[in-house]
Chain A
Amino acid sequence: MNEIIKMTATELAEKIKTKQLKSAEVVQAFIKRAKETDSKIKAYMEITEEYAMAQAKASDEKIASGKETGALEGVPIAIKDNILIKNLRMTASSKILENYIAPYDATVIEKLKNSGAVFVGKTNLDEFAMGSSTENSAFFTTKNPWDTERIPGGSSGGSASAVGAMTAPLALGTDTGGSIRQPASCCGIVGVKPTYGRVSRFGAVAFASSLDQIGPMSKTVEDSALLLNVIAGYDKKDSTSINKEVPDYVKNINKDLKGLKIGLPKEYFIDGLDTDVKKSIDETIKIYKSLGCDIVEISLPHTDYAIAVYYIICCSEASANLARYDGVRYGFRAECDNLSDEYKKSRGQGFGPEVKRRIMLGTYALSAGYYDAYYGKAQKVRTLIKQDFEKAYEKVDIIMTPSAPTPAFKIGEKSADPLQMYLSDIFTISCNLAGVAGMSVPCGFSKDGIPVGMQLLSKYFDEEKMFNAAYKYQQATDFHKQFPRI
């Protein structure tokens, strides 16, 4: 059984389809592992054992009767708890949704159900996906499986930790400013933010509508490519999803990289970069050179403004997206005798401090007299950031950067000063503002044995190239074959 939890999703899908393994035993193995580890890492809001075993049983019956099966038939996956699965609780790790039962399936969930995947649990996150450490969850903090005194990253810390600790081979996260890539980097796994519009947002709790994407998380690059095959695609329920065919992201993943031009943005390789991170990235560059790639220095001149632009935009959009949580139709309602109190007490008590801080910031940025200086201006600088990327891709095929400025820091280290926490998003944030695709791949360990990640960024809808570059790199390294000792 130890073997099962170390298998990749690709291997498991194959073995289950060919009846070498039963989905029920696979799912049991992962759930057992989840139960064993969760007291230590607390990745899960809820392990949905009954639900999963029923799905596993159905998959096994399907396979036994020779019926047509899906790409992930019988394979377990953990789902970040801001994605709706019908009739299951969905909390967004917030008190305001503590007892909310989802009335419908997110589109990605429908797609996963059609592919035969099995939902082993809902994972913890920073409340409403606002945070970079999962310390903002209203219920508990998830731990990094490599060192339980450290953060797993955020906001998809639960999903990252769940995969990192081998309690599921796959997970879904959401990424608005790096919330898939940064925790993937912290936990030594692969995490992908697809191009904006590639995956439907219908059924994911909205944080910042023009930045959010749902994406895959897994141990290996191939697994994430397999998962993206399933969840990507046009959704008529999402007006921002693109009507463009989904290629097979696995098909050309092993193509020769010779001649691939990789850009290193000089603004991301500043003096003072953490030594562990610098060392791992330098090694990464060497490996890519050995694979026949051309390394080119590029510039993304407006990088310095990315965090400011991001926080204005995401908080403004969030302040509107979170207005619906008022205790009237669903969610926490405070005891009151008049409507005015009912709104401000329900929201005041139901939301945590980071959420309230961002709503305040966003409301301020949109309020009368401030729109032009803040939101209006930020949207214009965003255009410049987009143009930086578009110009860069005229010179190179792929951009490579560190995923985070440091390996996972200790729990509590940055929670006193919100601005300090925001500044740690520097490498992942521009990708969301531009809308391009990005992924984090494990590229080393710090002296303390904590994972380090490197980030690849491809231009719009060029995920194939990104997966190819990541896969060949992963084949040339063994970081993905290492497991935490938890």
Chain B
Amino acid sequence: MSPRHLRALGLAFSLAAMQCTAMAADARDPWESMNRRVYAFNDVVDVTVVRPVAQVYDKVLPRFARTGVHNFLGNLSDVWSMANSALQLKGQATAETLMRVSVNTFFGLAGVLDVATEMGIEKRKEDFGQTLGYWGVPPGPYVVLPILGPSTVRDGLALPLDFKGDPGQNASDPATRNTLTVLRVTDLRASLLKTVDTVKEASLDPYSFVRDAYLQKRENDIYDGNPPSDFDYADPDLSGK
């Protein structure tokens, strides 16, 4: 290869590199262009299928029925939350969540009524991704999973265990498992109807809004609501108020 060719090749490489850095503006999101595509795909699935189903569910079912479903599924999730509280050696949280599950299962008609919250026993959601984070596993790059949505490498790898940890998914009957999965997705999406609309209205770029919110929220949950802040709050303009 002649020096001219080499130079051209070098230029091509540096141009490609520049383009890469321009695309990956955020160090936490090196796969941004791919993630954006998956995000767009998910949005189509959401707008055409998931959201309409959730809207019908929200309209047709009376509030008490929806609350009952939400509580029932929440009670199932509490079991896995308890396991993860234990894995994080949070004694009090583990004991309280055990109390929640027993009270709601026995006095709350298998979890349909959330008696425990009425009694003032706080709900604490914990999943395996949080447990890993608690023990110092870094989140790794941000990933948008098809259908499942925002995640990170750590949280994505923890996800199969979270599925396994859901008592509903351990039912022997596949029909029961599938029904519970559909219900869970619908319940979750129905509870987020307003939120997702708000996010779309409140953001200049919904993709990065959701990404930043997800990453902050996970950090928040790992630190039980008080993560160390690494945002620089020094005033950009100290001259005036």
**Do A and B bind?**
no
Give residues in A with beta carbon < 8 Å to B: none
Give residues in B with beta carbon < 8 Å to A: none
